[in-house]
Amino acid sequence: MRRALAALLLVLAGVAGWFAWRLQDRPGLEGWPRLAASGPLGGVHVRFLGVSSLVVSDGTTTLVTDGFASRPSLWRTIATRIAPDDTAVAYLLERAELRRAAAVFVVHSHYDHAMDAPLVARRTGAVLVGSESTANVGRGLGVPEERLRVIEPGVAMRFGAFRVTCLRARHFPHGMAMGEITAPLVPPARAVDYREGGSYSVLIEHPAGTLLVQGSAGWVDGALAGRRADVALVGVAGLATRDEEYTRRYLAEVVDAVGARLVVPIHWDDFTRPLTEPFVPFPRLLDDLDLTLRRMEAHLAARGTPVAFLPAFAPVTVLPVPDVPAR
């Protein structure tokens, strides 16, 4: 029995060691173009805040997507109830130099998109825009009804020189926390209580050009037909867990459909790490970003469409479309 127990403990230690090693094996972004932070800002500039959180501004009007800052650890997310972290939200606003915004758009209502959005909206004076599920996240954090706007798919909204249209999309098909949030969601709550509530493509038009924000790697066939965008900021989380044909169809329905001249990956970083640490991809054991990027490059090269990353938090002028450094 002692020998059997010792052997079992050795096996368990070996398995634990293998998992620990695999969880440290992460892809790197070396060799992939990164857009340079801008000096004097002109046109439309974007700041990448991690996951699908972006600040889009023309210097007069500022829009935000998601604004996720809390980034609870994997253990806390799985084993406890989670809530917005006021300190993390304050850090995000300060580092992004985000003081005033016209609107915060939530691409869907999972916790890594919607949980902090009401706080960002309240602290910047913005309207919170999203699904009815997102509105219930806002209500749970005390956002007044006059500052909530439920999306009408295909109906354009005006904010300064920006014209924003949200179109129906689908979430990447992992099946977790789907469905609707049907009552005000008061945190702390379980991560799975932040149900998807419907996903959207966000088309942001401006006299300088058009951006498409696709927060999750799913699509509705033909939903973007006839729409145009100069730059597509596309969520890539989970793509490596599907076959190459899935990535090809995703890019065809999202990037090719709008004729994008530049593709910027978003939602690639490990959002269980705090904002105070550098953004890094998920471990290959969970999602191989290298494989995703190779598949994207193979599809887009035939069209001459470059792929480039945004630096963390720094403003980058994306409209007019910038030159991309050679890979």
What pLDDT is stored for residue 23 in this prediction? 57
What pLDDT is stored for residue 161 in this prediction? 98
CB atoms within 10 A of CB 201: 30
Question: The domain 41-319 belongs to what CATH superfamily?
Answer: Ribonuclease Z/Hydroxyacylglutathione hydrolase-like (3.60.15.10)
What pLDDT is stored for residue 326 in this prediction? 77
What pLDDT is stored for residue 28 in this prediction? 87
What pLDDT is stored for residue 327 in this prediction? 75
> What dihedral do alpha carbons 279, 245, 299, 323 form, nearest 10°?
-30
Q: Can you tell me whether residue 209 is helix, strand or coil?
A: strand
What pLDDT is stored for residue 8 in this prediction? 52
Q: Max alpha carbon distance in the chain (Å)?
A: 76
20/15 Cα distance (integer angstroms): 9
Look up residue 54 and give its amino acid: L
What pLDDT is stored for residue 10 in this prediction? 54
What pLDDT is stored for residue 236 in this prediction? 98
Q: Are 315 and 47 in contact (CB under 8 A)?
A: yes
Strands, DSSP E only, in 116-183? 127-130, 148-150, 157-159, 162-169
User: Mind listing the pLDDT tens digit of every residue in the chain (327 residues)?
Assistant: 666 555 555 544 444 444 454 556 899 898 899 999 987 677 999 999 999 999 999 999 999 999 999 999 999 999 999 999 999 999 999 999 999 999 999 999 999 999 999 999 999 999 999 999 999 999 999 999 999 999 999 999 999 999 999 999 999 999 899 999 999 999 999 999 999 999 999 999 999 999 999 999 999 999 999 999 999 999 999 999 999 999 999 999 999 999 999 999 999 999 999 999 999 999 999 999 999 999 999 999 989 999 999 999 999 999 999 989 877
Phi, psi angles (nearest 5°) of residue 300: -80, -20
Beta-bridge mates of residue 62? 57
Model confidence, pTM: 0.92
The alpha carbons of the chain give a radius of gyration, in whole angstroms, of 20
Residue 24's alpha-carbon distances to 75, 265, 281, 286, in angstroms, are 16, 22, 11, 11
- Segments making up each domain of the chain, as ranges: 41-319
Query: To which residue do tokens 């979430």 refer?
Result: 171
Q: Are 318 and 36 in contact (CB under 8 A)?
A: no
Q: Are 211 and 231 in contact (CB under 8 A)?
A: yes
